[in-house]
Homo-oligomer: A and B are copies of this chain.
Amino acid sequence: MGASKADAFSVEQQDLASLSKALAHPARIAIIQYLMNVDSCICGDIVNELPLAQPTVSQHLKELKLAGIVKGNIEGNSICYCIDTDKIQALLGFIQSLVASKQANPNPCC
């Protein structure tokens, strides 16, 4: 045995975990930061920005797309990627409430 008891948890918990997993690699953080910097959608220059081969970058982009953090549009024979903030709002809300709950109720022992 040893994998995937994820179904034993709520959909919300699984969704938050999936969103976090999409951010859980430095390459994917780097892609997001790049898209934030150029603040207009840029295509496969992402490949040139990262110290990774093209198939690897494509795979990371696929994961970000699947998680709903990034969107892609066909533009001529290249593809224009940009940030999508719809899904990530849930994770933002979770972390905000985490920080807020701690400030409202500082624990007695820690």
Contacts and interface: CB of A to CB of B under 8 A. Distances in A.
Chain A interface SS verdict (over half): helix
Interface string A1-39: 000011011100110111011111111111011001001
A88 B98 contact: yes
A45 interface: no
B39 A13 contact: no
Given A24-B24, A40-B108, A82-B109, 4 more contacts: A6-B26, A72-B110, A75-B109, A88-B98
20 contacts: A5-B51, A9-B27, A10-B26, A13-B26, A17-B23, A17-B24, A21-B24, A23-B91, A39-B101, A39-B107, A40-B109, A41-B107, A41-B110, A73-B109, A81-B110, A82-B110, A83-B98, A84-B102, A84-B110, A92-B92
